[in-house]
Amino acid sequence: MTTLFPSRRVQVLLPLPLQGVLDYLSPEDLPLREGDFVEVPLGSKRLQGVVWSCDPPPSDVPEDRLKHIYGRFDLPALPESLMKFIDWVAAYSLSLPGAVLKMAVSVPRAFEQAKSRTVYRLSVGNPDDLTAARKKVYEVAVGDMPLSVKDWCDLAGTGEGVIRGMIKAGQMTAVEIKGEDLFPEPDVTVSAPKLSKEQERAGDHFRALVRRDKFQASLLEGVTGAGKTEVYFEAVHEALLKPGNQILVLVPEIALTAQWLDRFRDRFGEEPVIWHSELTPAQRRRAWWGVIQGNVRVIVGARSALFLPFQNLSLIVVDEEHSPTFKQEDGVFYHGRDMAVVRAHQSDCPVILASATPSLETLVNAQNGKYDWLYLGERHGPAEMPDMQAIDMRKYPPASGEWLSDPLREALKQNLGRGEQSLLYLNRRGYAPLTLCRTCGHRIQCPHCSAWLVEHKKTGKLQCHHCGHWMGKPKHCPECESEDSLVACGPGVERVAEEVEKLFPEARLAVMASDELSTPAEIRETVASIVRHEVDIVIGTQIVTKGYHFPNLTLVGVVDADLGLSGGDMRAAERTWQQLEQVAGRAGRAEKPGTVLFQTFMPEHPVIDALVSGDRDNFLEQEANAREQQGMPPFGRLAAVILSGADYNTVVTTARQLARAAPKMAGVQILGPAPAPLAFLRGQHRYRLLVKTEKTVNIQNILRRWLDSVKPVGAVRVQADIDPVSFF
C-alpha cells in the first residue's frame, strides 16, 4: 500500500473505558499538538478523542497498518496541566485514563464550534393569565436568560407543545445568538466588608500566597460563623486582580448554596459560573467553553469541576473540606478534596481547605507543618458561640411513639414564646425507617437490596433509599395477611414534624430534607422564607448543616445524637462530631445567644463530651491516636476491594480466589473477604476486602498486581477504592 503523503504516528486517547491509548497516523500537512481534539476512525465508527502524545515510544505495528486521523476540531487544545492530572488520577485510582478523560469532556457536542442558533426569552405580561402548564415554565425561568426550546422543556419538565404555544402567543420572543455567550467579568471594585483583626491576618496571608503564585496548601479553620467565606473571598479577589487568572471553588452540594451565590454577588457584583450535574446541556456546554477559552474567571462547583479545562488555574478553595460528599463512589473512585490538592500542585497554585470541623487527614497535615494553618477563634460581630447541653434520655424518656423529651419540649415552648426560631435535627428522611407487622413480626424489605423500605407518609409510599424501589403502603401484611397490623417503627423527619404539629399547632413549620425540597429553586425559597422569619420551627436532615446563616435561629435540638455512632467504621465518631458541631453552629449566629440540646442515651460518650465541653482538641487527639495505633489513614494506607455480581456463588468464589492470591509481604495486611454491610444492593450481591499497608508501601502497585493475577468468575465486577470513605 502506498501512502499519498508522508505520515507520522501519534497516540490518541478516546473518552471511553478502553485499555490505554491508540496509535494513528496524522497527515504531515495537518500539524498536531498534544491536547488537540481530533476525530478518528474506530471500527466502523467516527469517534472524538484527544492527541495524547506526538512522540510515542517505538511500536512493532507497521505504519501501513495504522489508520489516519480524519481531522482536528477548531478549539483550544486540552491544557497540559489537565492532561497531566487525568493521567495522575487514573494511575492513583486504578482507573482507565479514557474513563477519566470522559469526565473532562462530558459535555454535549463539546468539540464542535457553536453555530448560530435561535433561543427564546420569556416575555410574559401578567403571570396570573397563564395556564397551569405555562405557569410552570414561567416559574422555572432564571432571570431573563434565553434558552432553546429543548432546554426549556428539560428545565420545566414539560412537552415541546407548551413552549411552542407560548412562542405563538407572544409569551416568548426569539433571540438569534452566535457561538456561546461570554460570561460577565466579576467586579473587583466592589467595596469589601471591614474585616476583624483575625480575619484580616488570615486574609493577608492568603493574598500573599496568591501573589507568590506557587503551590501551597492551607487549612482555614474557624468556628462556625467566624467568617471563613469572607476570608477566602480575599484570596479570590487577589487572584482576580491578575487578568486571565481562573479560580475554582469546590462546595459539597452546589444545589444547596443559594446563600453562598448571593454572598458572592454581593462581593463581586456578578454570580460566579456554576458547575454541577443538574445543569442543562446548554448551560454545561456554555460553562465548559467559557473555561477552556479562558473567559470564565470563577467557577463554583461540585467535585467534577476539578476536571474542567482551566487555562490558568491560580487558586483552588475547598469549602467544608471535611464533607464526605467530595468522595465519588462510582465509575472513577476519587476524593475531590485530595485531588484538589493534587490539581493545585500540578498547576503550581495555592489551595485553601476551609472548615469549622476539619477532617483528621487535613488536621494532621496542618499539625506537622505540611499545610499552613490559619485559625479564626471568634464569631463575627456580637455573636457568641452557643451554649451546648446533653439531655440524658434515660432520665427523660418520651412516651412510646414520641421522640421529643420534656426538656426539649420546654425549650421549644419558651423559644416560641420569645418569637425566636428553632431547628430540630434528625438525619433521617421520610416518616419511619421501618414498617413491621405486629402479628407475625415481618419487616418490609426492598426486593433488590438488603435494606428496609422507608415510609414516606406524605406520598403514601414505602421507598428504598438505596435503589429508589417503592410500593404503596399495603393494608395487609404481605407475609401473614393480617389486616391493619403494620406499624411504623422509629422516627424520620416527617414523624417528628407530626409530633411538633400536635404540640404546637400554632407554630409555622418547615421540613427540610432532600426529598421534600428537590429543586434548587425550592431550596432557595425555603431558605429565604426561614431568613424572612416566616417559619418558627425547622425540622431537617443533614441538608440544613450546610453552612446556612439564619440570624433569628437560637435553639437547635438534636433529636438523636447517637445516630451514626454505632456504625463500625473508623470515622463514625469523627463524622458524627462534625455533623453535630455543624448543625449546632446554626444556633445564635447573630445578636441573640443560642442554645443547643443533644438528646442522647450515652451522655458520657467522647463525641457528646467533646461537643458539650467544647474540648474538641482532646477528642481529636484521641481519635488520631487510635488511628495511629491501628495503622489507619492518615498514618497508613487503606484500599477497599468491592466485588459485586448478580449471581451469589460466583461472587463468593471470586472473593475466595482473591483471598488465596493475596500478597504476603511485610507491611501489607489483607482483611476479609466478608459480605458487605449492604450485602445485596440493586440486585447485586456484594463482598468486600480491605487492604491496609504501611505508609511507605505503594498500595497501587500491590493492588494492580494482585487484581491482575485473578480472573473474576463469570460476570463478577471487581472495583478498587483507594482511600475509602464509606464502607457499605
- The answer to the question of residue 227 lying near ligand ADP (CB under 6 A) is yes
Burial (CB count <10 Å: 0-12, 13-18, 19+), residue 468: exposed
- The answer to the question of residue 437 lying near Zn ion (CB under 5 A) is yes
- The answer to the question of residue 531 lying near ligand ADP (CB under 6 A) is no
Q: Which does 467 bind (CB under 5 to 8 A by kind): ligand ADP, Zn ion, none?
A: Zn ion
Nearer to ligand ADP, 86 or 543 (CB): 543
Spatial contact of 254 and 275, defined as CB atoms under 8 Å apart: yes
Q: Which does 446 bind (CB under 5 to 8 A by kind): ligand ADP, Zn ion, none?
A: Zn ion
Spatial contact of 561 and 580, defined as CB atoms under 8 Å apart: yes
- The answer to the question of residue 477 lying near Zn ion (CB under 5 A) is yes
- The answer to the question of residue 358 lying near ligand ADP (CB under 6 A) is no
How is residue 523 written as a grid cell?
431550596
Taking the complex as a whole, how short is the minimal distance between the CB of residue 423 and ligand ADP, in angstroms? 15
Binding mask 364-403 for ligand ADP (x = CB under 6 A): ----------------x-----------------------
Segment interacting with ligand ADP, rule: CB under 6 A, options 218-226, 408-416, 485-493, 676-684: 218-226
Out of 202, 219, 273, 446, the only residue in the binding site for Zn ion (CB under 5 A) is 446
Spatial contact of 557 and 425, defined as CB atoms under 8 Å apart: yes
- The answer to the question of residue 222 lying near ligand ADP (CB under 6 A) is yes
How is residue 337 written as a grid cell?
478534596
Out of 229, 328, 421, 684, the only residue in the binding site for ligand ADP (CB under 6 A) is 229
- In sequence order, what DSSP letters do the residues of 597-613 get, joined into one string? EEEES-TTSHHHHHHHH
Out of 186, 225, 272, 603, the only residue in the binding site for ligand ADP (CB under 6 A) is 225
Query: What span, in angstroms and rounded, lies between the C-alpha atoms of 12 and 15?
Result: 10
Taking the complex as a whole, how short is the minimal distance between the CB of residue 141 and ligand ADP, in angstroms? 28
Q: Give CA separation, 108 vs 112, 118, 155, 284, in Å.
A: 9, 17, 16, 8
Segment interacting with Zn ion, rule: CB under 5 A, options 103-111, 345-353, 357-365, 436-444: 436-444
- The answer to the question of residue 228 lying near ligand ADP (CB under 6 A) is yes
Q: Which does 228 bind (CB under 5 to 8 A by kind): Zn ion, ligand ADP, none?
A: ligand ADP
- The answer to the question of residue 230 lying near ligand ADP (CB under 6 A) is yes
What is the number of the residue whose Cβ is closest to ligand ADP? 227
- The half-sphere exposure of 643 on its side-chain side, counting CA atoms within 13 A, is 29
Residue 679: name the closest of 703, 659, 652 by CA.
Answer: 652
Nearer to ligand ADP, 552 or 654 (CB): 552
Binding mask 541-570 for ligand ADP (x = CB under 6 A): ------x-x---------------------
Q: Which does 9 bind (CB under 5 to 8 A by kind): Zn ion, ligand ADP, none?
A: none
Long-range contacts of 393-398 (CB under 8 A, 24+ apart): 393/599, 393/600, 393/601, 394/601
The DSSP call for residue 127 is G
Query: What span, in angstroms and rounded, lies between the C-alpha atoms of 381 and 312?
Result: 36
Segment interacting with ligand ADP, rule: CB under 6 A, options 56-64, 190-198, 679-687, 719-727: 190-198
- The answer to the question of residue 374 lying near Zn ion (CB under 5 A) is no
Q: Beta strands of 480-594 (E only): which ranges?
A: 486-489, 509-512, 537-540, 553-558
Taking the complex as a whole, how short is the minimal distance between the CB of residue 341 and Zn ion, in angstroms? 35
Out of 30, 54, 114, 195, the only residue in the binding site for ligand ADP (CB under 6 A) is 195
Taking the complex as a whole, how short is the minimal distance between the CB of residue 402 and Zn ion, in angstroms? 25
Q: Beta strands of 191-245 (E only): which ranges?
A: 216-222
- The answer to the question of residue 237 lying near ligand ADP (CB under 6 A) is no
Out of 199, 328, 422, 463, the only residue in the binding site for ligand ADP (CB under 6 A) is 199
Spatial contact of 98 and 13, defined as CB atoms under 8 Å apart: yes
Query: What span, in angstroms and rounded, lies between the C-alpha atoms of 340 and 348?
Result: 12
Q: Which amino acid is at 487?
A: V
Q: Which does 69 bind (CB under 5 to 8 A by kind): ligand ADP, Zn ion, none?
A: none
Scan residues 608-667 and list those touching ligand ADP (CB under 6 A). none
Q: Which does 600 bind (CB under 5 to 8 A by kind): Zn ion, ligand ADP, none?
A: none
Q: Give CA separation, 606 vs 355, 518, 602, 609, in Å.
A: 21, 35, 9, 5
Q: Which does 199 bind (CB under 5 to 8 A by kind): Zn ion, ligand ADP, none?
A: ligand ADP
- The answer to the question of residue 91 lying near Zn ion (CB under 5 A) is no
Nearer to Zn ion, 55 or 330 (CB): 330
Q: Which does 320 bind (CB under 5 to 8 A by kind): ligand ADP, Zn ion, none?
A: none
Q: Which does 380 bind (CB under 5 to 8 A by kind): Zn ion, ligand ADP, none?
A: ligand ADP
Spatial contact of 129 and 138, defined as CB atoms under 8 Å apart: no
Q: Which does 563 bind (CB under 5 to 8 A by kind): Zn ion, ligand ADP, none?
A: none
Query: What span, in angstroms and rounded, lies between the C-alpha atoms of 629 and 607?
Result: 20
- In sequence order, what DSSP letters do the residues of 635-699 get, joined into one string? SEEEEEEEEEES-HHHHHHHHHHHHHT----TTEEEEEEEEEEEEEETTEEEEEEEEEEETTS-H
Count of residues that bind Zn ion according to CB under 5 A:
14
- The answer to the question of residue 608 lying near Zn ion (CB under 5 A) is no
Cβ atoms < 10 Å from Cβ of 590: 18
Answer left, alpha or beta for residue 141, where phi above 0 means left and psi between -120 and 50 means alpha: beta
Q: Which amino acid is at 104?
A: A
Give, rounded to a whole angstrom, the gap between the first and last alpha carbons of the chain.
57
Burial (CB count <10 Å: 0-12, 13-18, 19+), residue 157: exposed
Count of residues that bind ligand ADP according to CB under 6 A:
16
Spatial contact of 80 and 34, defined as CB atoms under 8 Å apart: yes
Q: Which does 464 bind (CB under 5 to 8 A by kind): Zn ion, ligand ADP, none?
A: Zn ion
Out of 442, 461, 656, 717, the only residue in the binding site for Zn ion (CB under 5 A) is 442
Three-state secondary structure call for residue 556: strand
Query: What span, in angstroms and rounded, lies between the C-alpha atoms of 546 and 553?
Result: 15
Residues lying near Zn ion in the complex (CB under 5 A) are found at: 437, 439-440, 442, 446, 448-449, 464, 466-467, 469, 477, 479-480
Residues lying near ligand ADP in the complex (CB under 6 A) are found at: 193-196, 199, 222, 224-230, 380, 547, 549
